[in-house]
Amino acid sequence: MESEFLSAGFLSALFAIVLIDLVLAGDNALIIGLVARNLPKNIQNKVIFWGTFGAIAVRAVMAILVVYILDLPGFMLAGGLALVWIARKLLTPEEQGSENHLVKGPATSFAGAIRTIVIADAVMGVDNVLAIGGAATGSVLLIVLGLAISVPIIVWGSQLVIRLVDRFPSIVLLGGAVLAWTGYSMVVREPLLASWFAGHPATKLVAVILIFSISLAPWYSARMSDQMKPLVVILPGVLVWMLCFEIAASVWQLQVDYLLATQTGEYILEAVRWLGWLPLVAAYLWVRERLELRRRRAVRG
Amino acid sequence: MLLIRHSCRANSAVRTTSVAGELFVASVVICMILASFGDAVDPALLSEVGLEFAIFDFGGELSVLAMRHWHLLQLLLAGAAGAFGIFVLRVFAAGLLRILRPAGRRAIDKVPISL
């Protein structure tokens, strides 16, 4: 789906890409610094230049690959689900001062340093490139623009990005929401599921609430009291329960619409669909409470 | 490691975001969900099943508003407008409640009524 240049769709996708570039920008400067710190001064400059060049080259190759990969059946769905996980991870606060696990230690040779930098950037950039690929909706121009925006951030913009998100932390929340929205649009654009979604329009409602409830869980759970916290698991669980019945109806040709039910078995199935989750939720709450009591006793003991 | 992890405020954005920021993002998320509600209902269905469906089905109402065709920028603008509306309502509601609240019995501004 190509958007017309400078149309609302094009500018919206560009805005989403800029936001994704901001919130998913990796700390390449730190990695290059960590890798090159023990090398001689003359090699350090070379490592900084070629490391940055390698990081940009890897981003470009991955962006080209994403354009082709997302066209393959199944990958749009997988990419959408991956974005949901990325959005959730983005909103989950991390321990401060945690070590960068991508770099084991300083490199001892020029080739080793470049290899470490390129691999680290490839690992860090996967989520960024995937999200840009999803937001670009197949437009090569938008992917090139996304790459053109992420490169200055890699090279010079790290301090600027840090200052911006420090002043306006809501950018991170908005970034999480845009990632979830992009993930949802990728899931519903999946060619393998397009006809199924057309036949089951209500599942789109379930899917969007499920995706937002999973990806924004760190945000709304931070605002909930301890008593309400189980909702973080129960809400997505109930939605998955409902989706399972829709899928089962398609796979085994079952009648799950109560208006069309005519036989006793179909009515029982309906009852299980609408009420069957209640004992599961009760069991979950009971087990949770028991575990909490046991944990408190262990702390006291 | 992500750049945002270098800032304490951005790292724990779920706790440090201002009320106004949260209201704006929450409004945008609600607009996104409403847009997909509109997306889930085929407007052609409205003419088939009649006005009753259009009146009682929320998704149908929203698809009439063509929210299903809205792009991210439009959703952001709608979210900003919604957040501003809620903010104004809150200010007015707070003012109204303050007026309705009776002053203390011995308050200076209590109007003395003596028969």
User: Does residue A124 lie within any of the structural domains?
Assistant: yes
Take residue A39 and report the two structure tokens written for it: 């090398």
Angle between helices B19-40 and B72-100 (to 10 degrees): 120
Listed residue (A127, A147, A21, A121) closest to A79, CA to CA: A127
Element (H or E) spanning A123, and its range? helix A110-135
Contacts of A102 in chain B (CB under 8 A): 1
In sequence order, what are the residues at sequence separation of 6 or more whose Cβ sits closer than 8 angstroms to the Cβ of residue B76? A15, B28
Is pTM beyond 0.95? Reply is no
User: Does residue A291 lie within any of the structural domains?
Assistant: no
Question: Residue A132 — very low, low, confident or very high, per pLDDT cuts 50/70/90?
Answer: confident
Residue B20 has pLDDT above 70, yes or no: yes
Higher pLDDT, B89 or A260: B89
Whether residue B2 and residue A219 make contact (CB cut-off 8 A), yes or no, is no
User: Does residue A225 lie within any of the structural domains?
Assistant: no
Question: Residue B43 — very low, low, confident or very high, per pLDDT cuts 50/70/90?
Answer: low
User: Does residue A181 lie within any of the structural domains?
Assistant: yes
- A75-79, A206-210, A267-271, B30-34: the lowest-pLDDT one: A267-271
pLDDT digits (tens, 9 = 90+) for A172-223: 999 999 999 999 999 988 888 888 888 887 788 889 999 999 999 999 998 8
Rounded to a whole number of angstroms, the distance from the CA of A236 to the nearest CA of chain B is 15
Give the domain range for residue A166: 2-187
User: Does residue A228 lie within any of the structural domains?
Assistant: no
B19 to chain A: closest CA residue: A170
Q: How many domains is chain A built from? A: 1
Element (H or E) spanning A182, and its range? helix A170-189
Q: How far apart are the first and last CA of chain B?
A: 76
ipTM of the complex: 0.85
User: Does residue A131 lie within any of the structural domains?
Assistant: yes
- A90-99, A163-172, A196-205, B9-18: the lowest-pLDDT one: A90-99
Residue A295 has pLDDT above 80, yes or no: yes
Task: Say which of A25, A161, A173 has its CB closest to residue B21.
Answer: A173
User: Does residue A179 lie within any of the structural domains?
Assistant: yes
pLDDT digits (tens, 9 = 90+) for A33-75: 777 777 787 788 888 888 888 888 888 888 888 888 888 888 9
Q: Give pLDDT, residue A285.
A: 94
User: Does residue A66 lie within any of the structural domains?
Assistant: yes
Q: Give pLDDT, residue A258.
A: 65
Mean pLDDT of chain A: 84
**CA contacts within 13 A on the Cβ side of A31:** 31
Higher pLDDT, A106 or A72: A72
Rounded to a whole number of angstroms, the distance from the CA of B43 to the nearest CA of chain A is 12
Whether residue B71 and residue A209 make contact (CB cut-off 8 A), yes or no, is no
Q: Give pLDDT, residue A82.
A: 92
